[in-house]
Every structure is written in structure tokens, then in C-alpha cells.
Amino acid sequence: MIMKNGETHISSFASLGIVLTVLLALTTISVLVTGWHLGPFSVAIALIIASIKVRTVLTYFMHVKFENLFLKLMITGVFVLYALVIIITFIDYYLR
Amino acid sequence: MSTQAIHSERIESETGKLGMWIFLFTELFLFGGLFLVYAVFRAKYSADFHTGAQELNTFIGTLNTVFLLVSSMTAAMSLTAIQKDKKNLAIFLLAMTILLAALFGMNKYFEWSHKFEFRLYPGSEVLKNLPHGELLFFGLYFMMTGLHAIHVLIGMILLSINIFKIKNGEVSSTHYLHLENSALYWHLVDLIWIFLFPLLYLIT
């Protein structure tokens, strides 16, 4: 959390409260969407909402927004790597 | 404290945090492997997974999601409090986090014991006689939520240690790496649940 000017970023209580509100709203949407019975789309929507939530937690609760570029790239890299693992597994699974 | 001392301390704190992140990456892949198994079997046995998920209580799942999200906020807030040198507030917020974690655990306990009453547990006769896909669903359910619950327990211990460290001054407004890393661990527990919840409870 040390920024370029050498100062540490301190998240305000209010901003953390807003982040929680957003997360709870997304959870509500996620539960409501399940009730609509959209078939295969409901999985996609649930996962998209979950990804937005994870990104929000990473950015604000885990302070990634205020981290240095190196750590940001590492975190992005790990998620990209995992996405590739999933994609490659499914390519293998469906083209077998 | 001299500028150089402050500088070297900052580097130490940065490297300490980098180490924590690298550990969190390994945790992500530990659960990631299970998510991958889940994804493949779900694609293969989607009807059975649907039937299996009907057995899970969406209300308990949603309530636990709320507990973990709020606890993640209080953990982040406790770091803000210690950075602002508000020790008592930081301790209170950590205690709140641990309480919410305990509520999560309690919910999980009731949920699991309810399953056990119906003889639904790994290796039980009832489970063995279920269709293959449902057996896989419950196997993954117990494995993933069980592994997650162990992480909740470890998180509770780590956060409790921080309360003592704040009390005896080892964690303060200038030295808070331990609290920062413990909070990161707690957020990871939250992150994993964010994916577990829709995948296990919200299947239609």
C-alpha cells in the first residue's frame, strides 16, 4: 500500500462501507436471477456476478488498487493462468 | 527513527506482503483444482448436479455469504483503524470479524448435521446408492466446503493472534504487516466462498 510518493494509502471507513453495500447488492441480484430459471444462462450470469464480486474484493478490501504495478501484474497473471487451465481442460474434454 | 531505518522497514513490509500473496496464489490453485473437477463433472452430469443442489438450503447459503462479506469489511476496517492508531476500535472490529466467522461456522455445522441425519456423508450407504452424478456432487460439496471451513478456522486463529499482538504493541500504527497479511488471508476465504456459493447453492 505504499504509493509512489512514499505515503501509505489508508482506506476510509465510509469507502469500505460502500464496497460492502455493492457486494451485498450483487449477492441479492445473484440470488434473484437464479429464481428466473434462465437455464444455461443462469450459470453464466452467476459466474459473471461472482467475478465482479471477486474483482471488487481484490481491488478495495485487499487494496490491490493501491499496490505497485509488479504485484498487480502478478495477480492478473495468476488469474489469466487459471483461466487458461480451465479453457485448455475444456478444449481437451470436448474435442476428445 | 532515521529515514534509512524507515526505508528498510518499508522494504521488509513490502517483501513480507509479496510472500503472502505468493502463498495466496498457491491457495487459489488448491481450490482451483477442485473447481476444475467440479466444472468437468458438472458438464458431464448436469442433471444430477441439479438434483443434488436442490438438497442444499439456499437461505443458509445466502446468510453465510452475507456473514463472510460483512466480516471481510470489518477485517479491512480493522486495518484502517490500526493505521489511524485507533487500537481499541481495531480490536473491536477484529472481534466482530471472528464473531461473524463463528456464525458462519455454526451455520455450516447445522447444515452438515442436517445432511448427516439423512445419512448423507462421505462413504455412507445412502450416498453410495445415489446416481453417479449426485454422488460426485455431494463428494465435491463436502470436500470443497470442508476445505473452506478449515480455512475459516485458520483465519479465526490468525485474527485472534492479531488481537493479542495489538494489545501487547507488536501490531501498531507503524508495524501492521501481520494484521495486513492476516486480513489478506481472510479476504481469500471470502473470495473462495464467493465462487463456491453460486456453484453449489444457486444451480438451476
Give how far the C-alpha of residue A2 lies from the chain's centroid of Cα atoms, to the nearest Å: 22
For residues B8 and A1, give the distance between their C-alpha atoms in angstroms, rounded to a whole number: 15
Residue A1 lies in a domain: no
Looking at beta carbons, which residues of chain B come within 8 Å of A38? Answer: 204
Give how far the C-alpha of residue B196 lies from the chain's centroid of Cα atoms, to the nearest Å: 10
Radius of gyration (Cα) for chain A, nearest Å? 17
Q: What is the mean pLDDT of chain B?
A: 92
Cβ-defined contact of B80 to A11 (cutoff 8 Å)? yes
Radius of gyration (Cα) for chain B, nearest Å? 20
One-letter amino acid at B37 equals: V
> Pick from B99, B86, B64: which is nearest to B166 by CA?
B86
Residue A8 lies in a domain: no
Low-confidence ranges of chain A (pLDDT < 50): 4
| Confidence band, pLDDT 50/70/90 cuts, at residue B127 | confident
Residue A6 lies in a domain: no
Nearest CA in chain B to A70: B18
Residue A28 lies in a domain: yes
Residue A5 lies in a domain: no
Whole-number Cα distances in Å, B154 to A52, B42, B100: 26, 30, 14
pLDDT at B70 over 70: yes
Cβ-defined contact of B76 to A11 (cutoff 8 Å)? yes
CB pairs under 8 A between A and B: 101
For residues B84 and A43, give the distance between their C-alpha atoms in angstroms, rounded to a whole number: 42
Q: What is the domain count for chain B?
A: 1
Sign of CA dihedral A68, A72, A77, A78: positive
In this complex, is the C-beta atom of A2 within 8 Å of any C-beta atom belonging to chain B? yes
Quick one: DSSP state of residue A6?
S
ipTM, two decimals = 0.90
Looking at beta carbons, which residues of chain A come within 8 Å of B184? Answer: 62
CATH of the domain at B124: 1.20.120.80
Helix axes A13-34, B58-83, angle to 10 degrees: 170
Residue A85 lies in a domain: yes
In this complex, is the C-beta atom of A82 within 8 Å of any C-beta atom belonging to chain B? yes
pLDDT at B82 over 90: yes
Q: What is the domain count for chain A?
A: 1
**Which residues form the domain of A29?**
13-94
Q: B64 near B107, Cβ under 8 Å?
A: yes
Looking at beta carbons, which residues of chain A come within 8 Å of B43? Answer: 90, 93
Quick one: DSSP state of residue A7?
P
For residues B161 and B139, give the distance between their C-alpha atoms in angstroms, rounded to a whole number: 33
**Which residues form the domain of B153?**
3-201
What pLDDT does residue A7 have? 65
Q: List phi, psi (to 5°) of B107.
A: -55, -45
The alpha-carbon gap from A30 to the nearest alpha carbon of chain B, in Å, equals 8
User: pLDDT per residue over B10-40, tens digit each?
Assistant: 777 888 999 999 999 999 999 999 999 999 9
Question: Under 8 Å CB-to-CB from B67, ≥6 apart: which residues?
Answer: B100, B101, B103, B104, B107
What pLDDT does residue B168 have? 93
Residue A51 lies in a domain: yes
Which residue among A23, A74, A90 sits closest to B21, beta carbon to beta carbon?
Answer: A74
What pLDDT does residue A25 have? 97
Q: Determine which of A28, A29, A31, A64 to mutate to test the interface with B (most B C-beta atoms within 10 Å).
A: A31
